[in-house]
Amino acid sequence: MRANPGAAPARWITRYLFGTVARGSAALAADLAVVAVFSATHVLAVVLEPTESGEPQWWPLLVSIPATAVLLGWRRMPWPALLVTLSATVALTAAHASIGALNLVILVEMYAVCLRTSLAGVVVAALVAMVYPVVDALELSLGEGFLRVFGGAVNLVMVIGWGRAMRVALRRERQLEHTVVLLDEARDQIAADAAVVERARIAREFHDVVSHNLSVVALRAGVARAVMERDPDHARGTLRELEETSRSALDEMRNVLTAFREGAVAPPHAGPAPGELEEAERQPAPSLDRVDLLIDRVRSAGVSWRLERRGAVRGLGPGVEMNAYRVVQEGITNVLKHAPGGIARVLLEYGNSSLRIEVTNRDTNAAAPRPSTVDAPARAGNGLIGLRERVALLGGSLTAHPVPGGFHLAAVLPVNETQVSEAQVSEAPDAR
- Over range 59-74, report the average pLDDT: 85
Q: What is the pLDDT of residues 237-267, one digit of tens each?
A: 777 777 776 777 677 777 666 666 655 544 4
Given a cut of 70, whether residue 162 has pLDDT beyond it is yes
Is the pLDDT higher at 209 or at 371? 209
Given a cut of 70, whether residue 21 has pLDDT beyond it is no
| Chain CA centroid to CA 360, Å | 43
- Over range 354-367, report the average pLDDT: 78
Strand pairing of 303-313 and 342-350? parallel
Q: DSSP H helical segments within 298-406, as ranges? A: 318-338, 383-393
- Over range 279-307, report the average pLDDT: 72
DSSP symbols for 206-272: HHHHHHHHHHHHHHHHHHHHHHTTT-HHHHHHHHHHHHHHHHHHHHHHHHHHHHHIIIIIS-TT---
DSSP symbols for 125-177: HHHHHTHHHHHHHTTS-HHHHHHHHHHHHHHHHHHHHHHHHHHHHHHHHHHHH
Given a cut of 80, whether residue 302 has pLDDT beyond it is no
Confidence of residue 338 (pLDDT cuts 50, 70, 90): low
Q: What is the pLDDT of residues 394-417, one digit of tens each?
A: 888 888 888 777 788 889 988 876
Q: How far apart are CA 287 and CA 296, in angstroms?
A: 15
Any idea of the CA torsion for 292, 295, 296, 302, to the nearest 10 degrees?
-160
- Over range 347-364, report the average pLDDT: 86
Least confidently predicted of 29-38, 79-88, 157-166? 29-38
Given a cut of 50, whether residue 430 has pLDDT beyond it is no
Least confidently predicted of 328-332, 387-391, 417-421? 417-421
Give φ, ψ of 43 to 5 degrees: -60, -45
Q: Is residue 87 helix, strand or coil?
A: helix
Give strand pairing partners of 414. Answer: 354
Confidence of residue 219 (pLDDT cuts 50, 70, 90): low
| Chain CA centroid to CA 73, Å | 41
Confidence of residue 92 (pLDDT cuts 50, 70, 90): confident
Question: What percentage of the chain exceeds 90 in pLDDT?
Answer: 5
Confidence of residue 297 (pLDDT cuts 50, 70, 90): confident
Q: What is the pLDDT of residues 53-66, one digit of tens each?
A: 666 778 888 888 88
| Chain CA centroid to CA 399, Å | 35
Which own/partner contact pairs does 88-97 have at CB distance under 8 Å and 24+ positions apart?
88/63, 88/64, 89/132, 90/131, 90/132, 90/135, 91/63, 92/60, 92/63, 92/64, 93/132, 93/135, 93/136, 94/135, 95/60, 96/139, 97/57, 97/59, 97/60, 97/63
Q: Which helix (H) or strand (E) holds 288?
A: none
Confidence of residue 180 (pLDDT cuts 50, 70, 90): very high
Given a cut of 70, whether residue 168 has pLDDT beyond it is yes
Residue 269: the pLDDT is 39
Burial (CB count <10 Å: 0-12, 13-18, 19+), residue 372: buried
Q: What is the pTM of this model?
A: 0.46
Q: Are 362 and 405 in contact (CB under 8 A)?
A: yes
Q: Are 256 and 205 in contact (CB under 8 A)?
A: yes
* Radius of gyration over every alpha carbon of the chain, rounded to an integer in angstroms: 44
Q: How far apart are CA 54 and CA 86, in angstroms?
A: 29
The DSSP letter of residue 56 is -
Q: How far apart are CA 276 and CA 297, in angstroms?
A: 26
The DSSP letter of residue 284 is P
